[in-house]
Structure 1
Amino acid sequence: MVSPYLPRLKRLFSNEKEAKLHCWHSEERVTDGKLRHVADSPQWRNIDKKYPEFGKEMRNIRFGLSSDGINHFWNISSCHSTWPVLLCIYNLPPWLCMKRKYIMMSLLIQGPRQHGNDIDVYLSPLIDDLKTLWSLSVYVYDAYKKQHFQLQAMIFCTISNFPAYGNLSGYKKKGKKACPVCEDQTSSIWLTNSKKIIYMGHRRFLPKGHRFRKKTIEFDESIEIRTMRKRFDAFSRVASLNVVLGKRFRVDKNALWKRKTLSRCYAYRKNVCESLIYLLLEMKQKIKEVNVRKDMAEMGIREDLAPEQSANGVYLPPACYTTSNEEKLKFCQCLHDIKVPSTYSANIKRFVSMKDCKLFGMNSHDCHVVDVEDLDQWEKDVYVTLCELEMHFPPSFFDIIVHLISDIVREIKACGPVFLRYMYPFERYMGILKGYVRNRNRPEGSIVEGYTCEEVIEFCQGYMKDVESVGVPKTRHSGRFEGKGGVGCKINMPTYEVLQVARNACFSGLVINLKYPGKEKMWYINNHNKEFSSWLEKKVVETDVDETVKRLGRGPDCRVKSYQGYDIHGYTFYTKDQDKKSTMQNSGVTMIASTTEFDRRDHDTLIRIAKDSYYGVIHKIWELNYYDFVIPMFKCKWVNNRTGVQVNKDGFTLVNLSSNGYVSEPFVLAKHVT
């Protein structure tokens, strides 16, 4: 089933707001050398350089293409497979690229069976449209620029999980040469006992003089002299390939490419966290572990761990990755009890079974953290880490998914941030498509009908005021950026002294420009909080100033609103008491503040003004009411930086929250903390 996307592109450009968004990558994107968007990637620049006419027109579309099989019948039937072909638009801002509204279903390949090489037949209408957009272009009206122009488009990259990678690219993703990057130089071994192929030999990615290359006992009893595979052009591999569509057609047994690829594919790498947990918690049958140990003995790796046969059965000597029941319990208890800030990650507690000491149902996006800075060093660290895992973990751990991690940094360098090229948004959208099914006898027809109805509704909503879009849901912080109280609202009457301390915190950073003969600079700093509010109160009476300054000078209402939760600047904060009731941990705060240091002997001599990070826990959340406006304040218990904060050898900051410091300055403006 074909769902034409050309008319939809025309409808997007006919809306002024939507048309402006398609120019974001050229007009509003920050170009400071950092990698925030695929437009910051070398591949984007190379396309502009190779095809200058295409790159000159900023409205030309660059698509991301994704496809995978879905089963509409959930657990009722496991053999039905329908393949939606989805397109996302990379011209948009990064926070909109993967939103439901801007993901287009260009094709729906009907089930119930998978189509093998025949998938190219079903993709032909899409390819024909893309060729039209590339070579002939399409005449489109731009409501933002108030002009007609010739629109062109291209596929920037494809996105898929690894099994679907082979279907889209034509590469033979199984067997000894399963890695599409290493290709014919893939290092693989067949394990006779475990009955699987593993992919090791990661020392070849290291520099020639690296110490791991000469180690023998820790690896496979050999010195590594191989080097990393040089880059190659995948299109040259299939240029002379004669392809016959259909499942009965068989290519040469030794051929790595089954057919001509439609576009360069970049596979999404599933996180190896699940494999690590599976190994450490020994979530597999003992017979499999026995086979793993036998394979290690046959390979001459860590022979002291070989299984020992006795009258009582088979004894497996403990390995470095073997965990005791007590250690498993501690690990699962830590994950079960851990609390993280809102939106930091999924609620890990839901996946932990304390009864069995196991983890269930974790998805790749539940443990996906990627730092795109300092990529060169990160690439080296990935290679070293894989080698260190080879030194300690059993060979059966190194399946193709673990091996593919070696290429993830190069993909980021070439095509941009991972979050704009991973499979999770498309998997979530495919779940929405499955929800459209009402007639189980005609599931594809139900999907097309539901998709078309939503597209019509979205188009109409674009011309209505104050109507929320279906495909771009409002965030939980929408309308709360400047601050809005949440749970536990109460009215309190604090003492005058405490209210003054909170009021003085509003004037932090301001210095009284008055002269006191004989007073040192340090005296001015220390007496600022004591004198500024009273000075300002008198000054606003004597001087004609702005109404806001007058309100500040007169002071807040003696009645204070207190909350247990507060949203501001895209963050959610809780008090310590509210944290105890919640599955999240939102009471911790960090603030960067300036610190002034004077000479101990001469208090007029300023040694330095430094910016330091301060850490604390929120105990109270107040709103000071100045009648025309309110100022949110946090009362915190601050950690003494000298005794309660340290950085360990790995660069992590450790904070002892039981430490208590800076008691005289508990209040801070809510907008100053994160």
Structure 2
Amino acid sequence: MSSINSQNDDININDSNFVDDDDNSIDLNDNLSDMLHDMETNIGDDDQRKLHVLFDDAEKPLYPGCENFSKLNVVLKLFNLKSNYGWSDKSFTDLLVILHDMLPDGNELPISTYQAKKLMCPMGLEVERIHACSNDCMLYRKEFEKEHKCVICGVSRYKRKKETDDMDDDVTKNGPPNKILWYFPIIPRLKRLFSNENEAKFLRWHKDCRVNDGKLRHVADSPQWRNIDHKYPNFGEEIRNIRFGLSSDGINPLGNMSSRHSTWPVLVCIYNLPPWLCMKRKYIMMTLLIQGPKQPVNDIDVYLAPQIDDLKTLWGLGVVVYDAYKKENFTLRAKIFCTISDFPAYGNLSGYSTKGKKACPVCEDETNSIWLKNCKKTVYMGHRRFLPTSHVYRKKKDEFDGNTEHRTMRKRFDAFSRVENLNVVLGKRTSAQKDVIWKKKSIFWDLPYWKHLDVRHCLNVMHIEKNVCDSLLGLLLNIPGKTKDGINVRKDMVDMGIRKELGPVETANRIYLPPACYTLSKEEKMKFCKCLHDIKVPSNYSANIKDWCRYRIVNCLV
């Protein structure tokens, strides 16, 4: 079969899925048996049999005559240490072997990491392995589950030496597939969260415990949260309904900076939780893992389809879930509140073209851009239009591009009307349209509530802050290779007819660049670096900047 439900016999799961690495996590001894019994309500018959093994292990003494520790309790404590301090699987196995030999004969301690994981999570993490076209055209699921070739580009489904080899009707017997999508269904994982009394209580925080004083401290304080509750009162009345944030970006699992391989995980976070928990590893779920080496780019919609189907179910009929905190069954529904990504990934998720002359998703076809022939890149101008109409900067010429600014910010437009009639065939073999602003109709528009969201896509602040900081430091300290100033920039300014006093001055032997207002002398650079070096911030506020900034008489390095 193309979609294989696995119980994860290899147990190749990150440690944080089993234990919370938060120092403030609850005691592993607290209500362990109650948590296991609550979980029993939200699982099937096969998993219930495995869960009863957990019941036995929770009561079984570590060794004959031991009264203080059970088999499961000790393994949980040891695994908590492994997760908190980053022990490798091999080192943990060696520790288990030593402890097993030190304990009395007949002890129940596992002797390997594999056995410990099987003990703690006998039901495994449900995963669907879905075959995909190597050109990102389609997934072999639903009506295409038995196909041997891509119905769009005709590429074989399998890694085969000869295309003439006979095909077996059983798709699992034709060799390994060209590409695989790993899908980790979110519905069973939500059921497990509500099976824990403490977790189920946390999921009510946004209504029961949040301070509602009009200040923006949490996503639940945003107008969009209130607007959706008002637009869909049946959804808003049930405070246990889940609001997700979805994020995706490419990573290189090979551990180097090469861009030749890119694997794309898709993660969701839960905004029902308090702000000090919603970004913890424990509550961030990886729902999709898109195999490399090629980036899916605009074809990511093909791989999002299984998750979108589950989200439609969660929004429509919902699923019956047992709430361990309220001791009752209820119908759980869920929605995507927004996506979070860097700017290139925003283009992949939304379908907007983030390159070229019209790359601004706010201004669209009114984007003010020019091509710098010396720097050989497109830059975007006219930012003063976003200032208040009476702002003094609007009338200044010399400080900007030599013109006054009378335009105002573009009025909000209906994005759905731009993409409603787009019909784009996805896949690497299809020719992309040129000189278009919207490249596709995003799969997120299939969600009934998507058109009613005020802010659908959010940019990752981390990337923006880093890029702006790097640019400013490179400019102020004149760091080679990182500064935004140089001879090409000065030549482009001359071509534009602005800042003529900063134009390069050519002499017989060299080219002189006049100092600008941001040009620092060596003494000023020293003062700047010393200021950074001496900054003191509260504990856990940020990394120690002293480790990244050092100053000396000869030079200043950041």
Instruction: Specify the TM-score bucket, using the shorter chain as the normaliser.
Output: 0.5 to 0.7
More deviation, 279-288/140-149: 279-288
Is 1:275–2:471 an aligned residue pair? yes
Contact 2:351/2:438 (CA < 8 Å) preserved in 1? yes
Q: 1:203 to 1:65 in 2, by over 3 A?
A: same
Contact 1:194/1:288 (CA < 8 Å) preserved in 2? no
Hey, what's the Cα distance between the residues in 2 that align with 1:293 and 1:223?
22
Indicate the residue corresponding to 2:458 in structure 1. 266
Indicate the residue corresponding to 1:227 in structure 2. 408
Is 1:159–2:351 an aligned residue pair? no
Contact 2:375/2:492 (CA < 8 Å) preserved in 1? yes
Q: 1:185 to 1:63 in 2, by over 3 A?
A: same
SS at match of 2:228: helix
Q: Deviations over 1:12-67 (max 9, x none)?
A: 11111111111111111111111111111000001001111111111110000011
Q: 1:275 to 1:27 in 2, by over 3 A?
A: same
Is 1:179–2:360 an aligned residue pair? yes
Q: 1:252 aligns with which of 416, 419, 433?
A: 433
Is 1:114–2:298 an aligned residue pair? no
Give the aligned residue type for 1:106: T
SS at match of 1:140: strand
Contact 2:301/2:442 (CA < 8 Å) preserved in 1? no
Q: 1:169 to 1:75 in 2, by over 3 A?
A: same
Q: Deviations over 1:476-514 (max 9, x none)?
A: xxxxxxxxxxxxxxxxxxxxxxxxxxxxxxxxxxxxxxx
Indicate the residue corresponding to 1:145 in structure 2. 326
Contact 1:283/1:358 (CA < 8 Å) preserved in 2? no
Residues 459-498 of structure 1 mapped to structure 2, 5 A cutoff: none
Hey, what's the Cα distance between the residues in 2 that align with 1:358 and 1:158?
40
Indicate the residue corresponding to 1:628 in structure 2. none
Contact 2:526/2:556 (CA < 8 Å) preserved in 1? no
SS at match of 2:486: helix
Q: 2:391 aligns with which of 204, 207, 210?
A: 210
Indicate the residue corresponding to 1:535 in structure 2. none
Q: Deviations over 1:315-370 (max 9, x none)?
A: 1111101111221122122222333332233211122243674555xxxxxxxxxx
Q: Deviations over 1:398-419 (max 9, x none)?
A: xxxxxxxxxxxxxxxxxxxxxx
Hey, what's the Cα distance between the residues in 1 that align with 2:534 and 2:411?
47
Hey, what's the Cα distance between the residues in 2 that align with 1:9 and 1:177?
41
Indicate the residue corresponding to 2:82 in structure 1. none
Hey, what's the Cα distance between the residues in 2 that align with 1:177 and 1:353?
41
Kindly state the Cα deviation for residue 293 of structure 1 after the two structures are TM-superposed: 0.6
Q: Deviations over 1:448-490 (max 9, x none)?
A: xxxxxxxxxxxxxxxxxxxxxxxxxxxxxxxxxxxxxxxxxxx
Q: 1:18 aligns with which of 199, 213, 228?
A: 199
Is 1:342–2:542 an aligned residue pair? no
Indicate the residue corresponding to 1:327 in structure 2. 524
Structure 2 gap segments, 5+ residues each: 1-181, 445-455
Hey, what's the Cα distance between the residues in 1 that align with 2:362 and 2:257?
38
Aligned positions, number: 360
With the length of structure 1 as denominator, give the TM-score of the two structures: 0.52
Hey, what's the Cα distance between the residues in 2 that align with 1:52 and 1:174?
40
Residues 367-406 of structure 1 mapped to structure 2, 5 A cutoff: none
Hey, what's the Cα distance between the residues in 2 that align with 1:212 and 1:223?
8
Contact 2:526/2:551 (CA < 8 Å) preserved in 1? yes
Identify the structure with the greater strand proportion: 1
Hey, what's the Cα distance between the residues in 2 that align with 1:87 and 1:65?
4
Kindly state the Cα deviation for residue 308 of structure 1 after the two structures are TM-superposed: 0.6
Indicate the residue corresponding to 2:228 in structure 1. 47
Q: 2:261 aligns with which of 64, 72, 80?
A: 80
Hey, what's the Cα distance between the residues in 2 that align with 1:216 and 1:62?
47
Contact 2:475/2:484 (CA < 8 Å) preserved in 1? no
SS at match of 1:259: coil
Q: 1:78 to 1:359 in 2, by over 3 A?
A: farther
Hey, what's the Cα distance between the residues in 1 that align with 2:478 and 2:366?
32
Indicate the residue corresponding to 2:307 in structure 1. 126
Hey, what's the Cα distance between the residues in 2 that align with 1:104 and 1:292?
45
Give the aligned residue type for 2:301: D
Q: 1:290 aligns with which of 477, 487, 491?
A: 487
Is 1:302–2:302 an aligned residue pair? no
Give the aligned residue type for 1:300: G
Hey, what's the Cα distance between the residues in 2 that align with 1:15 and 1:202?
50
Hey, what's the Cα distance between the residues in 2 that align with 1:358 and 1:256?
44
Structure 1 gap segments, 5+ residues each: 361-674
Q: 1:186 to 1:66 in 2, by over 3 A?
A: same
Hey, what's the Cα distance between the residues in 2 that align with 1:95 and 1:287?
38
Contact 1:13/1:19 (CA < 8 Å) preserved in 2? yes
Q: 1:223 to 1:338 in 2, by over 3 A?
A: closer
Contact 2:487/2:513 (CA < 8 Å) preserved in 1? yes
Give the aligned residue type for 1:322: T
Kindly state the Cα deviation for residue 11 of structure 1 after the two structures are TM-superposed: 0.8
Indicate the residue corresponding to 2:378 in structure 1. 197
Between the aligned residues of both structures, percent identity stands at 69
Kindly state the Cα deviation for residue 274 of structure 1 after the two structures are TM-superposed: 2.0
Hey, what's the Cα distance between the residues in 2 that align with 1:204 and 1:50?
33
Give the aligned residue type for 1:317: P
Is 1:312–2:504 an aligned residue pair? no
Give the aligned residue type for 2:187: L
Contact 2:297/2:345 (CA < 8 Å) preserved in 1? no
Q: Deviations over 1:252-303 (max 9, x none)?
A: 3221111112342112241122211111111135996001111111111110
Indicate the residue corresponding to 2:210 in structure 1. 29
SS at match of 1:229: coil
User: RMSD of aligned C-alpha atoms?
Assistant: 1.8
SS at match of 2:312: helix
Give the aligned residue type for 2:457: C
Q: 1:117 to 1:205 in 2, by over 3 A?
A: closer
Residues 659-674 of structure 1 mapped to structure 2, 5 A cutoff: none
Q: Deviations over 1:425-444 (max 9, x none)?
A: xxxxxxxxxxxxxxxxxxxx
Give the aligned residue type for 2:547: R
Hey, what's the Cα distance between the residues in 1 that align with 2:543 and 2:248?
25
SS at match of 1:136: coil
Q: 1:215 to 1:277 in 2, by over 3 A?
A: same
Hey, what's the Cα distance between the residues in 2 that align with 1:198 and 1:207?
23
Hey, what's the Cα distance between the residues in 2 that align with 1:130 and 1:163?
24
Hey, what's the Cα distance between the residues in 1 that align with 2:435 and 2:405?
26
SS at match of 2:183: coil
With the length of structure 2 as denominator, give the TM-score of the two structures: 0.62
Contact 1:190/1:197 (CA < 8 Å) preserved in 2? yes
Kindly state the Cα deviation for residue 77 of structure 1 after the two structures are TM-superposed: 4.8
Hey, what's the Cα distance between the residues in 1 that align with 2:219 and 2:258?
39
